[in-house]
Amino acid sequence: MTQILEAKDISKIYPSGEDTVTALNHLSLSFEAGKITAIVGPSGSGKSTLLNLLAGFDRPSSGSVKHQSTDITTMPETLLATYRLAHFGFIFQNYNLISILNAQENVEMPLSLAGVPRAKRSATAIEILKRVGLAKRSTHYPNQLSGGEQQRVAIARALATNPSVLFADEPTGNLDTSTGKGILELLTEPMEGSQHRTLILITHDMEVAARADTIVRIRDGALEA
């Protein structure tokens, strides 16, 4: 049982006009490698804020986040970007594909940022698109794809760099139940060698949460007892 990600006493306070909003309040949490963790909780409870901090999109007001043994909260922005590229993958509720790039180019994007040569990254992208069942859609642009298909491309993009941690913020939130199920299956699919990828996902769906190894409940920016 190896710990891969750890949040230590993190708080996040947003300014809100003259006031402030405490989105996370001294929360500590750790995640195990190869496990699926579902984060559940009412709307506005701080789930997305937590995921953004874990993924290094933003920095906590206090406390720290460590990946393996690296503290990512104090990393300079440029290094942090490279770190995200190398270790993390993200799936958003509203897919967030780049509209000017087709499916394959979207999947190639992180590889191209990482400096992978053209031939290699195109082969990788085609291979992953095949895995998510979109081999025939590789030249389609996001606006030519259905919601479910776009989310598959997004998953392919997140998997392209073979990240050690996959983050998903309500990945099925915009999809109907059966489409959502397919997406979930893709996310929870074992990696090569039957080892599971570390997956941290936010969900409203208790059925989805039931498939997780661990369920984390959040309320008002803190863990529910």
Partner 1 sequence: MNFADLSTLALRGLMRRPVRTLLTIIGIVVAVASMVVFLSLGEGFRRALGDQVSNIGPDIQVQLAGSDTSSVFGSPIPDVPISFVSKLETLKEELGIRQVIPYMLTARGSFSGSGYVILAYPFENTKLTDVYPNMKLGSGRWILPSEGNAKVAVVGSQAAKTAKLALGDELRLSRTDRYKVVGLLEKGEGITDSAIFLPFASLSSTLAVSGKATGIAIKLNDAADARATANIINQRFAGDLKAQTQGDVVQVLDKAIAIGDAFRFGISLIALIVGGLAVANTVMMGVYERTKEFGVIRAIGAKPSFVFQLVVLESLLMALLGGVGGIFVGWLGTIAVNFAVRDLVSVEIAQVTFRLVGLAVGVATVLGLLSGLLPARTASRLVITQALGRN
- Does 173 sit near partner 1 (CB under 8 A)? yes
Cβ closest to ligand ADP, residue 61 vs residue 162: 61
- Does 48 sit near Mg ion (CB under 5 A)? yes
- Letter for the amino acid at 197? R
Range in contact with partner 1 (rule: CB under 8 A) among 26-34, 64-72, 76-84, 210-218: 76-84
The least distance separating ligand ADP from the CB of residue 222, rounded to whole angstroms, comes to 12
- Does 172 sit near Mg ion (CB under 5 A)? no
CA–CA gap between residue 190 and residue 184 (Å, rounded):
12
The least distance separating ligand ADP from the CB of residue 21, rounded to whole angstroms, comes to 5
Residues 6+ away with beta carbon under 8 Å from 91: 151, 154, 155, 158, 166, 167, 168, 169, 171, 187
Q: Is 170 helix (H, G, I), strand (E, B) or coil?
A: coil
Choosing from 93, 179, 188, 214, the residue that interacts with partner 1 (CB under 8 A) is: 93
Q: What is the largest CA-CA distance in the chain?
A: 53
CA–CA gap between residue 212 and residue 65 (Å, rounded):
22
CA–CA gap between residue 91 and residue 9 (Å, rounded):
25
In the shown chain, the binding pattern of residues 100 to 139 toward partner 1, with x for contact by CB under 8 A and - for none, equals: xx-------xx-xxxx--x---------------------
- Does 49 sit near Mg ion (CB under 5 A)? no
Beta bridge partners of 65: 7
- Letter for the amino acid at 97? L
| Residue 16 interacts with which of ligand ADP, partner 1, Mg ion, none, CB < 5 to 8 Å by class | ligand ADP
- Does 77 sit near partner 1 (CB under 8 A)? yes
Q: Which residues bind Mg ion (CB under 5 A)?
A: 48
